[in-house]
RNA sequence: GCCUGGGUGGUGGAACUGGUAGACACGCAGGACUUAAAAUCCUGUGAGCCGAAACGCUCGUGCGGGUUCGAUUCCCGCCCCAGGUACCA
């Protein structure tokens, strides 16, 4: 028996025990209720696990261990989202295949995770980059390609049912989700199409389809960049210019699910703020579409109308200009000869600006007049057409009507270009100073709606538009379809090849299901081809479908593999399906998902989308994949920065204190080569490919000082702190306790190692309840516990259980500390008490608990499936309560009264009290408020 | 900019439904044990004021208002920080 707390030995021993005995292997067990605890899917970065990752995993592990003690069959798996940009970036730098580095990184992650003592069922581990996994990601893509969204049944259906409808009545009036521009045809027209033409037409309706999307194109690198890779308008790698470019890309029609994604939020128990973020992201708005005729027909645009969507059609008489996105397809056609130069210049400038820049810069008005006009259909007035980059092409119709009196951005625009600001409601105030977006009052200057109220006016206008056929009421969503192509190597290949139609047009076809997985081909280097095609284009000579057709060269995005992984965990080895029917039946939905709020509008929406889709096709049962979701606040890092001088001939970096004298771009630098904000210049040079050996460093006081900021801890920000060092020094149990003790799980907090010793001391103190420190003798006795000891214990049992049930992980630690402090003061080493204490502690500090469990004489390893202590309220009964007595809300003294004393009796006793009399100093209280077992307030 | 959070001692945080603000830790100061150190234990620790003493007084939860017998908690306005903003995952 170990009599000293040698945590390193203890932890190694129990980790080995759990592994050998497969302690945490879960299986379909009809005799127990199931509980599925899902963690955020980690990306195995080269930096290894950082202290932020385990935060959520520790919490989920605590819940898993707690639920096992509560009698549940717990599914608690772990795996890796192992496709991604960083591995590819590393491959570009080193020429090493990303699969190799990914494998190494995963090995390291697993080692690190095992070090922390998680109760994962490792037999279910999955990796998205493994062909046996991405086979099913590709399979789901095929299902999406083969499906359309039927708005009548409100679900996805096989494309075959759509073909049947087309044969019967064509596409006119069919309630199918597709782009607005899609031309509708009759059954006759449909039938008259050739097979190829039919196939091409159907592409418009599939849930996976090809579409033009705007991307960050970097001509110098010959590739598309992630927003993350673009800093200040230039590429982070190399500092080359980036422009916005339209490209043909695979897209997912997530918009078909917009309303269900919205409605589904009502049935899940997720954090409200996260649901709110999703609601806002989906952005349902009810409004109207209005067609504006172009004044004096413009060449190329005969009979064309400019369509706008507005949520305030009632303001239409206040329209004094029209704004199109600079990339609007008619922008040049609408431009008159006189305006040509100005417009071209503006369009070129706008190309260099990211969407984020365009949305955030609200104070700086920019735009250009095209020289053309539209006609307001309601009053026949000529309205000038401008281009301005605050209108985004991918949003709605890419055109908005400007109503300066009611919209601040329009007001700014009108003021800048000297356009009229027309009041439209009699209650609008100060519109010469700012816009007033009120819906109150009666309309003025507004033709047919003069004198009406908001509701009446809106209704009347929409009716009129629909009668005239120049508009209609419409529900629009802010959410856009999801771009699904990446011009990258390290992702799932899209199981599609291109075959020319009779007319020579390349059409996409799926490969056969039996040909899955379509594996990534080997390529010579991980860069785009010389002609700017994605890296897979390098394999093209040898990599062809049936030896003749080119495959799709783009790969799937990072979110593909993570949009369904919780199902694979249910049955990770299955070769015939992504998961068996029985496993899906038993495990159903995730009971607890712990993940970061940074996934609110990305991963968590895509996952819900794919889940709904799989349900529509009957493969899964649940409309929502996670019943309960709690956020893990990020542990933030403290990042360091270096400052690269822009446009200098030689690569030059300037120290933080001098950076204001130059035009610089801030770049993250690894915190591990920065000491006290001073950069290790030599290591910096040798560790980065984009920093040549002759790079210049402008120093201050002989040092290169870095800037710093608190932001998220992430591989891309080079600010990672590693848990291994902490475990070596204090042990995994201490790390687990400390991470929980840091604060509420969901709160954001910068990492700070300083007070970890407190958690370590706590565990040592637990140990000392069992062993005498000096004599090293075991102190555990079989004596019966005293009422006082039982009160201490049961106070803790109640609070630990309550707090765990509401996921308040940090307060559990305090509770255990108080309990241990009290038991230490009482010199209690009684087995009857310590046994329950060990059970309470075990979810947090499982290694020391297993060890002490055996010290108590229990069977080795039986702790994980023991029974959580039962709370007994009778030990806590109090017969009196100490009432704080306050005067006007300020507490002055406390008085003790029996718990069953009536408020009247308390009031009398309080007023009769000598000290109270002293505070009253002869005054008569106006009122006395007695809140039983809380407080007494005397109002004077 | 927009959406979503957050702001409490020197530090991390507690106060669960509007009821004793600062639990529990860290740090710091003093003390015990020790030849010494480590470890451990004990005491004190929001700020200011009065005082020999305190069971004494005032202020105090980002800032400014409000509601209430009573506000860290609810409402209004502002400031600062963080996450997301559609190709980081």
- Categorize the per-residue pLDDT at A793 as very low, low, confident or very high, splitting at 50, 70 and 90: very high
Cβ atoms within 10 Å, residue A917: 11
Q: Residues 774-813 of A near strand B (Cβ < 7 Å)? A: 799, 802, 806, 808, 810-811, 813
Asked whether residue A255's C-beta has any atom of DNA/RNA strand B within 7 A, the reply is: no
By C1' distance from the Cα of A892, the closest nucleotide is B20
Q: Residues 657-696 of A near strand B (Cβ < 7 Å)? A: none
* Predicted pLDDT of residue A680: 72
Q: Residues 201-230 of A near strand B (Cβ < 7 Å)? A: 213, 215-216, 224-229
Structure tokens at A615: 């349900």
Structure tokens at A819: 């309990």
By C1' distance from the Cα of A227, the closest nucleotide is B87
The answer to which of A244-253, A258-267, A404-413, A822-831 has the lowest mean pLDDT is A404-413
- Categorize the per-residue pLDDT at A674 as very low, low, confident or very high, splitting at 50, 70 and 90: low
What does the DSSP 8-state code read for residue A926? S
| Torsion region of A375: left, alpha or beta (phi above 0 gives left; psi -120 to 50 gives alpha) | beta
Q: What confidence tens digit (pLDDT) does each residue in A479-530 have?
A: 999 999 999 999 999 999 999 999 999 999 999 999 999 999 999 989 999 8
CA distances (Å), origin A250, targets A129, A146, A210, A212: 20, 14, 4, 8
Asked whether residue A937's C-beta has any atom of DNA/RNA strand B within 7 A, the reply is: yes
CB A374 within 8 A of CB A322: yes
* Predicted pLDDT of residue A716: 65
- Length A834 CA → B31 C1' (Å): 32
DSSP A775-814: T--B--B-PPPPHHHHHHHHHHHHHHHHHHHTT-HHHHHH
- Nucleotides on strand B lying under 7 Å from protein C-beta: 1-6, 11-16, 19-21, 23-27, 39-42, 55, 57-58, 69-71, 81-89
* Predicted pLDDT of residue A591: 96
CB A810 within 8 A of CB A740: yes
Q: Is residue A752 classed as helix, strand or coil in its secondary structure?
A: coil
* Predicted pLDDT of residue A681: 76
Highest mean pLDDT among A557-566, A753-762, A892-901, A916-925: A557-566
**C-alpha torsion angle, residues A846, A851, A854, A860 (rounded to 10):** 60
- Length A774 CA → B38 C1' (Å): 14
Binding residues of A for ATP: 715
The answer to which of A534-543, A589-598, A686-695 has the lowest mean pLDDT is A686-695
Asked whether residue A932's C-beta has any atom of DNA/RNA strand B within 7 A, the reply is: no
Distance in angstroms between the alpha carbons of the first and the last residue of chain A: 66
With a cut of 70, say whether residue A838 has pLDDT above it: yes
Distance CA A143, CA A136 (A): 10
Asked whether residue A359's C-beta has any atom of DNA/RNA strand B within 7 A, the reply is: yes
Sign of the alpha-carbon torsion through A895, A897, A903, A905: negative
- Categorize the per-residue pLDDT at A657 as very low, low, confident or very high, splitting at 50, 70 and 90: low
Tokens 């020579």 sit on residue: A504
Asked whether residue A766's C-beta has any atom of DNA/RNA strand B within 7 A, the reply is: no
More confident residue, A637 or A456: A456
- Length A756 CA → B29 C1' (Å): 22
* Predicted pLDDT of residue A434: 79
By C1' distance from the Cα of A272, the closest nucleotide is B4
With a cut of 90, say whether residue A653 has pLDDT above it: no
Which residues make Cβ contacts (< 8 Å) with residue A922, sequence separation at least 6?
none
Asked whether residue A757's C-beta has any atom of DNA/RNA strand B within 7 A, the reply is: yes
* Predicted pLDDT of residue A678: 62
Order of strands across the sheet that contains A269-270? A73-75, A34-39, A592-596, A628-632, A269-270
Within its chain, how far is the Cα of A655 from the centroid? 35
Sign of the alpha-carbon torsion through A476, A478, A479, A484: positive
Q: What confidence tens digit (pLDDT) does each residue in A156-203 have?
A: 999 999 999 999 999 998 999 998 889 999 999 999 999 999 999 999
By C1' distance from the Cα of A478, the closest nucleotide is B86
Within its chain, how far is the Cα of A758 from the centroid? 33
* Predicted pLDDT of residue A640: 67
Asked whether residue A483's C-beta has any atom of DNA/RNA strand B within 7 A, the reply is: yes
- Length A592 CA → B80 C1' (Å): 34
- Length A803 CA → B76 C1' (Å): 34
Q: What confidence tens digit (pLDDT) does each residue in A8-63 have?
A: 999 999 999 999 999 999 999 999 999 999 999 999 988 788 888 899 999 999 99
- Length A819 CA → B2 C1' (Å): 48
By C1' distance from the Cα of A392, the closest nucleotide is B86
Q: What confidence tens digit (pLDDT) does each residue in A285-338 have?
A: 888 999 999 987 777 777 888 999 998 999 999 999 999 999 888 899 999 999
- Categorize the per-residue pLDDT at A153 as very low, low, confident or very high, splitting at 50, 70 and 90: very high
CA distances (Å), origin A312, targets A318, A359, A458, A715: 11, 20, 8, 45
With a cut of 70, say whether residue A708 has pLDDT above it: no
Distance CA A344, CA A359 (A): 21
Pick from A825, A787, A795, A824: nearest CA to A812: A795
CA distances (Å), origin A254, targets A257, A286, A380, A478, A607: 5, 19, 38, 12, 11
- Length A846 CA → B88 C1' (Å): 34
Distance CA A537, CA A532 (A): 9
Cβ atoms within 10 Å, residue A247: 15
Binding residues of A: 715
Sign of the alpha-carbon torsion through A328, A330, A335, A340: positive
* Predicted pLDDT of residue A792: 94
CB A718 within 8 A of CB A670: yes
The answer to which of A78-92, A700-714, A719-733 has the lowest mean pLDDT is A700-714
Pick from A634, A620, A719, A564: nearest CA to A252: A564
With a cut of 60, say whether residue A676 has pLDDT above it: no
Structure tokens at A535: 């890296």
Distance CA A705, CA A702 (A): 9
With a cut of 80, say whether residue A362 has pLDDT above it: no
Structure tokens at A876: 């806590």
Tell me whether the omega of the peptide bond preceding residue A268 falls within 30 degrees of 0, making it cis.
Answer: no
Asked whether residue A588's C-beta has any atom of DNA/RNA strand B within 7 A, the reply is: no
Asked whether residue A598's C-beta has any atom of DNA/RNA strand B within 7 A, the reply is: yes
Tell me the mean pLDDT in the region A464-482: 91
Distance CA A748, CA A784 (A): 45
CB A638 within 8 A of CB A708: yes
Asked whether residue A712's C-beta has any atom of DNA/RNA strand B within 7 A, the reply is: yes
Q: For each of the domains in chain A, give its residue range(s) and CATH number, in order of start.
A: 7-132+559-632 (3.40.50.620), 141-255+274-278+482-550 (no CATH), 285-477 (3.90.740.10), 644-712 (no CATH), 723-875 (1.10.730.10), 878-939 (3.10.20.590)
Average pLDDT in chain A = 90
With a cut of 70, say whether residue A582 has pLDDT above it: yes
Tell me the mean pLDDT in the region A259-282: 92
* Predicted pLDDT of residue A891: 86
Tell me the mean pLDDT in the region A909-923: 83
Cβ atoms within 10 Å, residue A641: 22
By C1' distance from the Cα of A254, the closest nucleotide is B86
Query: Cα Rg for chain A, rounded, in angstroms?
Result: 34
Beta strands in A789-913 (DSSP E): 880-887, 890-898
With a cut of 80, say whether residue A683 has pLDDT above it: no
Distance CA A77, CA A75 (A): 6
> What burial letters (b/e) apply to A786-795, b meaning 16+ CB within 10 Å?
eeebbbbbbb
With a cut of 90, say whether residue A921 has pLDDT above it: no
* Predicted pLDDT of residue A639: 64
- Categorize the per-residue pLDDT at A672 as very low, low, confident or very high, splitting at 50, 70 and 90: low
Asked whether residue A559's C-beta has any atom of DNA/RNA strand B within 7 A, the reply is: yes
Q: Residues 362-391 of A near strand B (Cβ < 7 Å)? A: 362
- Categorize the per-residue pLDDT at A576 as very low, low, confident or very high, splitting at 50, 70 and 90: very high
Q: What confidence tens digit (pLDDT) does each residue in A200-258 have?
A: 999 999 999 999 888 888 888 888 888 888 887 788 888 888 888 888 999 999 999 99
Counting residues of chain A whose pLDDT is more than 90, the rounded percentage is 59
More confident residue, A643 or A593: A593
């Amino acid at each position: 028996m170990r009599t000293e707390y040698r945590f390193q030995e203890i932890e190694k021993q129990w980790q080995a025990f759990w592994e050998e005995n497969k302690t945490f292997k879960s299986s379909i067990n009809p005799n127990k209720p199931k509980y599925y605890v899902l963690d955020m899917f980690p990306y195995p970065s080269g930096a290894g696990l950082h202290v932020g990752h385990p935060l959520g995993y520790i919490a989920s592990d605590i819940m898993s261990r707690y639920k096992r003690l509560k009698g549940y069959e717990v599914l608690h798996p772990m795996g890796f989202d192992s496709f991604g940009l960083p591995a590819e970036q590393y491959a570009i730098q080193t020429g090493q295949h990303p699969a190799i580095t990914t494998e190494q990184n995963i090995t390291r992650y697993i080692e690190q995770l095992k070090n922390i003592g998680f109760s994962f069922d490792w037999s279910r581990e999955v990796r998205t980059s493994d062909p046996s996994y991405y086979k099913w990601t590709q399979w789901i893509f095929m299902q999406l390609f083969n499906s359309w969204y039927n708005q009548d049944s409100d679900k996805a259906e096989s494309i075959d049912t759509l073909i049947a409808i087309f044969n019967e009545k064509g596409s006119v009036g069919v309630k199918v989700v597709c782009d607005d521009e899609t031309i509708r045809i009759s059954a006759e027209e449909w039938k008259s199409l050739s097979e190829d033409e039919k196939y091409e037409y159907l592409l418009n309706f599939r849930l996976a389809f090809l579409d033009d999307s705007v991307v960050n194109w970097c001509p110098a690198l010959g590739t598309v960049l992630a927003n993350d890779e673009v800093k200040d308008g230039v590429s982070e790698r190399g500092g080359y210019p980036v422009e916005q470019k339209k490209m043909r890309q695979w897209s997912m029609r997530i918009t078909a699910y917009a309303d269900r994604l919205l409605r589904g939020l009502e049935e899940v128990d997720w954090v409200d703020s996260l649901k709110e973020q999703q609601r806002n992201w989906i952005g349902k708005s009810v409004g109207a579409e209005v067609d504006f005729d172009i004044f004096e027909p413009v060449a190329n645009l005969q009979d064309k109308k400019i369509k706008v969507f507005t949520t305030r059609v009632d303001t239409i008489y206040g329209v004094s200009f029209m704004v199109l996105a600079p990339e609007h397809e008619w922008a040049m056609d609408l431009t008159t000869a006189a305006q040509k130069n100005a417009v071209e210049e503006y369009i070129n400038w706008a190309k260099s600006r990211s969407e984020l820049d365009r949305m955030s810069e609200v104070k700086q008005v920019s735009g250009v007049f095209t020289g053309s006009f539209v006609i307001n259909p309601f009053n026949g007035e000529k309205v000038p057409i401008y281009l301005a980059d605050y209108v985004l092409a991918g949003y709605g119709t890419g055109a908005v009507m400007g109503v300066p009196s009611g919209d601040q951005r329009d007001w700014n625009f009108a003021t800048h270009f000297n356009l009229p600001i027309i009041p439209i409601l009699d209650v609008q105030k100060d519109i010469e100073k700012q816009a007033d977006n009120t819906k109150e009052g009666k309309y003025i200057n507004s033709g047919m709606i003069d004198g009406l109220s908001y509701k009446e006016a809106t209704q009347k206008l929409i009716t009129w538009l629909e009668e005239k056929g120049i508009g209609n009421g419409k529900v629009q969503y802010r959410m856009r379809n999801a771009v699904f192509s990446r011009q990258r190597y390290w992702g799932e290949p899209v199981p599609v090849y291109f075959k020319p139609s009779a007319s020579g047009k390349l059409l996409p076809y799926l490969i056969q299901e039996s040909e899955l997985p379509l594996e990534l081909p080997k390529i010579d280097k991980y860069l785009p081809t010389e002609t700017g095609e994605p890296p897979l284009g390098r394999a093209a000579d040898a990599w062809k479908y049936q030896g003749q057709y080119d495959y799709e060269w783009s790969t799937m995005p990072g979110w593909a593999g993570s949009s369904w992984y919780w199902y694979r965990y249910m049955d990770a080895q299955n070769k015939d399906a992504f998961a068996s029917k029985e496993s899906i039946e038993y495990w159903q939905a995730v009971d607890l998902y712990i993940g970061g709020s940074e996934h609110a509008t990305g991963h968590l929406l895509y996952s819900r989308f794919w889940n709904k889709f799989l349900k529509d096709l009957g493969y899964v049962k649940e409309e929502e994949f996670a019943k309960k979701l709690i956020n893990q606040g990020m542990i933030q890092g403290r990042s360091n920065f270096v400052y690269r001088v822009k446009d200098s001939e030689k690569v030059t970096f300037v120290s933080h204190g001098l950076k204001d004298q130059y035009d610089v771009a801030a770049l993250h630098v690894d915190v591990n080569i920065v000491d006290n904000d001073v950069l290790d210049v030599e290591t910096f040079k040798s560790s980065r490919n984009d920093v040549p050996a002759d790079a210049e460093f402008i120093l201050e006081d002989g040092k290169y000082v870095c800037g710093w900021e608190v932001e998220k801890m992430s591989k891309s920000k080079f600010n990672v702190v590693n848990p291994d060092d902490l475990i070596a020094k204090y042990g995994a149990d201490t790390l687990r306790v400390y991470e929980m003790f840091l604060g509420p799980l969901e709160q954001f907090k910068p990492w700070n190692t300083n007070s970890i010793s407190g958690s370590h001391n706590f565990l040592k103190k637990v140990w000392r309840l069992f062993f005498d420190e000096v004599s090293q003798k075991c102190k555990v006795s079989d004596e019966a516990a005293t009422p006082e000891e039982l009160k201490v214990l049961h106070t803790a049992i109640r609070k630990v259980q309550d707090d765990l049930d509401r996921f308040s992980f940090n307060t559990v630690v305090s509770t255990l500390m108080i309990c241990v402090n009290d038991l230490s003061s009482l010199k209690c080493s009684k087995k009857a008490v310590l046994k329950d204490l060990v059970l309470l502690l075990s979810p947090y500090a499982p290694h020391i608990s297993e060890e002490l469990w055996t010290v108590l004489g229990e069977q080795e390893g039986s702790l994980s499936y023991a029974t959580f202590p039962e709370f007994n309220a009778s030990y806590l009964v109090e017969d009196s309560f100490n009432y704080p007595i306050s005067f006007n809300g300020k507490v002055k003294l406390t008085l003790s009264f029996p718990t069953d004393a009536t408020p009247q009796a308390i009031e009398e006793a309080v007023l009769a009290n000598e000290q109270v009399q002293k505070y009253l100093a002869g005054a008569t209280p106006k009122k006395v408020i007695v809140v039983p077992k809380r407080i007494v307030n005397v109002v004077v």
